[in-house]
Amino acid sequence: MDNLKIPTHVAVIMDGNGRWAKAKGLPRKMGHVQGGKNVEDMLYICDELGIKYFTVYAFSTENWKRSEDEVSALMTLLRSYLSSGFKKAAKNNVRIRIIGDKTGLATDIQDLIRDLEEDSKNNTGLQFQIAINYGSRDEIKRMMQRTAEKIKNGELEPSDIDERYISDNLDTKDIPDPDLLIRTSGEQRISNFLLWQIAYSEFYFASCHWPDFGKEELIKAIEEYNKRDRRFGDAK
């Protein structure tokens, strides 16, 4: 543990809240309640381990397809974290940024997000990103639309578009690409998360459900990451 190289940026697809609840005979929303608590705990653990950037996938652009009941339970939980749990983190020097299409969220949630981002913008501790109403294809589509507008208005030349421009115009602007991407619950797919940004990330799939993914599991993922021979297309 002592000699572990800690990844700068850890991103997590927090999957399996529903299955966690089902296994306990509880309604799915109880899985989300427990999953939310785990996010809060994980902020302290990440900070303690020296992780600088932590990004979680909380609600995808595809998750609107779930039942009205489940979507509304998730939005209620979100409101509660944005107005208290994450506010507490912001007081502990955590900087919070939301990635995703904020305009698709209820206006009171948009207001909570604006306040939280504004209040924490100078915090220098853990840099915490929450993906809400986030889909990588949607993020790229929005970036393309803004870019097309700029070209139409004569503010940008097609030749100005390079990889740097694209990275700087996605929702993750100013955030380094993830070093380690974790998905819980055994599923081995990306589900429209950070497609551009994970070009050279290392992947780790944990079999446990998100509410059970604690410090020990995170250390296991980092230990596994330490065994990887990271390459970026170069010959070593």
* Catalytically active residues, by annotation: 15, 63
Question: 18 or 178: whose CB is closer to ligand IPE?
Answer: 18
Angle at 44 between CA 113 and CA 111, to 5 degrees: 5
| Beta carbon nearer to ligand IPE, 80 or 191 | 191
Closest CA to 101 of 66, 67, 60, 129: 60
- From 100, 162, 177, select the one nearest 131 (Cα to Cα): 100
Residues in 7-36 that interact with ligand IPE by CB under 6 A: 13-19
Q: Which does 63 bind (CB under 5 to 8 A by kind): Mg ion, ligand IPE, none?
A: ligand IPE
Distances (CA, A) of 171 to 77, 78, 175: 23, 19, 9
Rounded least distance, CB 95 to Mg ion, Å: 28
Cα separation, 22 vs 54, in Å, equals: 28
The only residue of 53, 59, 81, 213 in contact with ligand IPE, by rule CB under 6 A: 59
Considering only residues 6-45, where is the footprint of Mg ion by CB under 5 A? 15
Footprint (CB under 6 A) of ligand IPE, residues 165-204: 185, 187, 189, 191
127 binds, among ligand IPE, Mg ion, none (CB under 5 to 8 A by kind): none
Q: Are 94 and 128 in contact (CB under 8 A)?
A: yes
In the complex, minimum distance from the CB of residue 122 to ligand IPE, in angstroms, rounded to a whole number: 28
Taking the complex as a whole, the smallest distance from the CB of residue 193 to ligand IPE amounts, in Å, to 7
Q: Is 58 in the site for ligand IPE (CB under 6 A)?
A: yes
Q: Outline where 81-159 has alpha helix (H).
A: 86-91, 107-120, 136-152
With DSSP H G I counted as helix, E B as strand and the rest as coil, what are the percentages for the chain, rounded to 5?
50, 15, 35
Residues that bind Mg ion (CB under 5 A): 15
Residues that bind ligand IPE (CB under 6 A): 13-19, 57-60, 63, 74, 185, 187, 189, 191
